[in-house]
Structure 1
């Protein structure tokens, strides 16, 4: 039987399961693994500048591919630095396997440098976490970690004692994993119940989430068949073009007034693959149907009909089951008007003279006009994220973002993972000034790997979303103002071509220049103070006036 070091076995086994790259930062407790990593070519090691960014990259890769992604770090501070990115994967339910170093077996439980018991630390954000203290344990626990991550769509973790990496193991490499069944078979009775409710509705409205992206072509057909309007969460944005006549924008503070009006007028909302949505923006009396393959996603609501099903299967069933239903002509006419209103909302928002300083909504709207249709757009968390949802008119672009966890500093790591996984596609990172400085070291990762990512920095000198929320809550903004470096000089120091736009007149010129530049490039846009308003409150006020 072939024997090899645990460090070598790990790489052979992961490669046989299709792992192409591992994101991480070298450290003392994983040095034997790093040595083995450098002597093979099957798996690429993506050297990051911070472990949090490495975990974010793994999370982003898992979001794009649906397959388990891998990150690594040393013991102690390295492991703890992973937690932020791993929490993003956990909250957004994507498969990530974290492999960390631990102190030598004889030091476990003692008062040694960089020792902390890792399993309790990860218990809140993982489905499985264990310590490998014997070489022959590596095969079974690695397979278990990989399978749990894939089937439960979440984080798993192996801590491996440093001395174990260098010990011989006789476990065979398993080339074929047990088949992973993601698809949930719907209960016919639940689908029939949903179909009956939809059949009675005269003014139906659909909400598509991330879980509906693979079914959006059929979902758009179903909406046309039934005369239903379409709302898209941030995760579904771009899956159906904003120009589609049924699309009315998003939901929540990143949504549209047209979408809110449709919700107030509708007699049914059918939710496809959206595990989170702002319930407060939906009228309390509106009946709901929620279709999702994950029962944990269902909202506790007396007016909700839950359907546990794969979204694509459910949509196909409803297309056939409701083929005799005729759309309501008056509702369809109303939706056409609302679509035009939705399209006009952006134009009303971005009316600025050429000499004015750029508003964030103007930036996002103009960026939408120039971003290639097939691009991947990595978003940071902040005011600009909501303006992206409101003002960026998507065609087929894929947004990549921190959904429920909403960590700042996400865009650069996510863009790196996207470009590595989709090298032929344009990748754009939209980053706030606060978010950029949280993971600014990854600019060097971009330069080092020659990744042609286009970075747009929204520089308004503040943590904009926090400033807006403090003002809306009646507080005096404090701890939100930022003294920023010169971002053009900063990017240049990293070897990245950089531009700046200060006025509306300069904006399109610089955006065009940004996308024409070869390789990585950064555009700093000096924006106005935050401009975000309370969408729902404004809508209600205008309707009561």
Structure 2
């Protein structure tokens, strides 16, 4: 600093006379331009008088597609599913009051599964905020339980910074973010510029080499290693296979991660928990080292106590949650797993006895589920339904699974293939997830086959989104396992000797509803009828629903 700059201590700051340049855009236009800069492809929403101006601008452009949903909850679930499937930020839109309230279930699903969803909701006029105006509610309080960041836009000039903050925060933290926009602000002109998506936001997080070396040393010394993998290893799946084979390690997966390891491999032990396999429970209980790779879910009843647990994840907050921890490593699995698989000293220990134990346990489990999957009869055993689906869906299919006893049967029986994706409501476990998720999946990947699997208790929560699929001419297939009950709850009530009040369902004619909505409807009550209906539905050109009369077979280990 030169002496001349200190001559007048009272002089104003150098840039004091400069103002933010006007973007020449209204609030509505700025929102869309900012979303375009972040490559947002769709907005899922429902119309209302507090978002009409934004919809007007949406209709004047074609870079972002507006998906008109039947319910705001369905719109938020679609956004959540797309974010889980693609890893990108997604957007849903609602009006003030009940519109914003209706999104909360879908936003909670996104929040629990760390899917970056930006929720935009209209709000009453700025002069009416805090009053008894119709449809007014404090949206920031409303969203506090599900959003990592929720802000009210009180002036057009605040919009650029607020949008940048919400987009960056949501993507980096894997959180829901939310903006409330008073409806009188949409025409206001914005000062400030569009902020493009910055490359540094997706730079991988590198773990120190010494940390990776410590994990490699633990693996090298392990007698009975197990790899527990989640969907976070998607970019390193081939290296997980190499690592497992080098270590003779058993491999256990979360449900969404099933396609990331060959299900027919001799070391694959299946899923975890009640919906998983007996083999995985046995091998986890016998292991001396468990390495968690991109997995964060571990049900309390299945956490082993005898093994050292190492967890590697990009999200430091998830490490050690719900289980003991011997060592945690923060970093990008796409960099770490290949280094572990390439470690030259890993094969040194003789693990032939453990490999034989793993092979025998996994083979025994596969014989058991293959026998279950051959079960015959009317109504159709759920195991047979899952086996039929697995036999007929494409190797590149996206399968969306609702919440219910069919979720457990799916994880128990379904054998996933490497090119497939499985979407679920992981931690939130909402009913009604599968159909909105299938719509989002088909919009995101129109060339891939998309199948939704739901129960008769859950599908009714969002069934009218089938009309959305028909309107959009999306050839998805919705399979409804119809056992006339909330079967998971009924099984648990039976196991505890409780009265079964509320567990029975008088299901509607699902196939007729599908036809009324503009799709195809099928009914099946035998394995042969289901297979024939599935073939027809998969080859059709419009959305199809198959109503499958399914036996109410209790899932093993059912308890409250």
- TM-score class, shorter: over 0.9
Residues 1:359 and 1:318: Cα distance change in structure 2 (over 3 Å): same
TM-fit CA distance, 1:189: 4.2
Which position in structure 2 is the counterpart of 1:383?
A: 405
1:135·1:164 contact (CA, 8 Å) conserved in 2?
yes
Which of 482, 494, 497 lines up with 1:471 in the alignment?
Answer: 494
TM-fit CA distance, 1:12: 1.5
CA distance in 1, matches of 2:267, 2:197: 44
TM-fit CA distance, 1:40: 1.4
Moved over 4 A (4+): 300-303
**Aligned residues: CA RMSD:** 1.8
1:360·1:531 contact (CA, 8 Å) conserved in 2?
no
CA distance in 2, matches of 1:156, 1:271: 28
Which of 65, 71, 74 lines up with 2:92 in the alignment?
Answer: 71
CA distance in 1, matches of 2:63, 2:322: 47
Which of 364, 373, 382 lines up with 1:360 in the alignment?
Answer: 382
CA distance in 2, matches of 1:473, 1:462: 17
Which of 86, 92, 117 lines up with 2:107 in the alignment?
Answer: 86
1:223-234 to 2 correspondence within 5 Å?
223-234=244-255
Which position in structure 2 is the counterpart of 1:518?
A: 541
Post-superposition CA distance 1:262-284 (Å, at most 9, x none): 22332222111111112422432
1:3 partner SS:
strand
Structure 1 length-normalised TM:
0.95
**In the alignment, structure 1 residue 221 sits paired with structure 2 residue 239:** no
1:255 partner SS:
coil
1:227·1:327 contact (CA, 8 Å) conserved in 2?
no
TM-fit CA distance, 1:150: 1.0
TM-fit CA distance, 1:535: 7.8
**In the alignment, structure 1 residue 334 sits paired with structure 2 residue 360:** no
CA distance in 2, matches of 1:269, 1:178: 35
CA distance in 2, matches of 1:535, 1:110: 50
TM-fit CA distance, 1:140: 1.1
1:122-521 to 2 correspondence within 5 Å?
122-177=143-198, 179-181=200-202, 183-297=204-318, 298-299=320-321, 301-302=323-324, 304-321=326-343, 322-353=345-376, 355-396=377-418, 397-521=420-544
2:410 partner SS:
helix
2:155·2:185 contact (CA, 8 Å) conserved in 1?
yes
TM-fit CA distance, 1:131: 0.6
User: Which segment drifts farther, 513-522 or 212-221?
Assistant: 513-522
Residues 1:78 and 1:390: Cα distance change in structure 2 (over 3 Å): same
Residues 1:104 and 1:536: Cα distance change in structure 2 (over 3 Å): closer
Post-superposition CA distance 1:485-535 (Å, at most 9, x none): 111111111111111110123232222222222321111110011421118
CA distance in 2, matches of 1:535, 1:461: 18
User: Which segment drifts farther, 105-114 or 314-323?
Assistant: 314-323
2:492·2:559 contact (CA, 8 Å) conserved in 1?
no
TM-fit CA distance, 1:466: 1.2
CA distance in 1, matches of 2:272, 2:99: 38
Residues 1:176 and 1:499: Cα distance change in structure 2 (over 3 Å): closer
TM-fit CA distance, 1:342: 2.6
1:460·1:530 contact (CA, 8 Å) conserved in 2?
no
User: Which segment drifts farther, 445-454 or 283-292?
Assistant: 283-292
**In the alignment, structure 1 residue 529 sits paired with structure 2 residue 538:** no
Post-superposition CA distance 1:306-358 (Å, at most 9, x none): 222222322122223344524511221222222322321212213433x4320
2:106 partner SS:
helix
CA distance in 2, matches of 1:327, 1:271: 22
1:452 partner SS:
coil
Post-superposition CA distance 1:402-460 (Å, at most 9, x none): 11111110011100100000000000000111121110110110000000101111111
Structure 2 length-normalised TM:
0.92
CA distance in 2, matches of 1:451, 1:392: 25
User: Which segment drifts farther, 69-78 or 277-286?
Assistant: 277-286
What is the aligned length?
536
2:119 partner SS:
strand
**In the alignment, structure 1 residue 121 sits paired with structure 2 residue 142:** yes
User: Which segment drifts farther, 101-110 or 185-194?
Assistant: 185-194
Which of 79, 88, 100 lines up with 2:121 in the alignment?
Answer: 100
TM-fit CA distance, 1:303: 5.4
Structure 2, unmatched stretches of 5+, are 1-21
Which of 49, 57, 69 lines up with 1:48 in the alignment?
Answer: 69
CA distance in 1, matches of 2:107, 2:323: 30
User: Which segment drifts farther, 291-300 or 417-426?
Assistant: 291-300
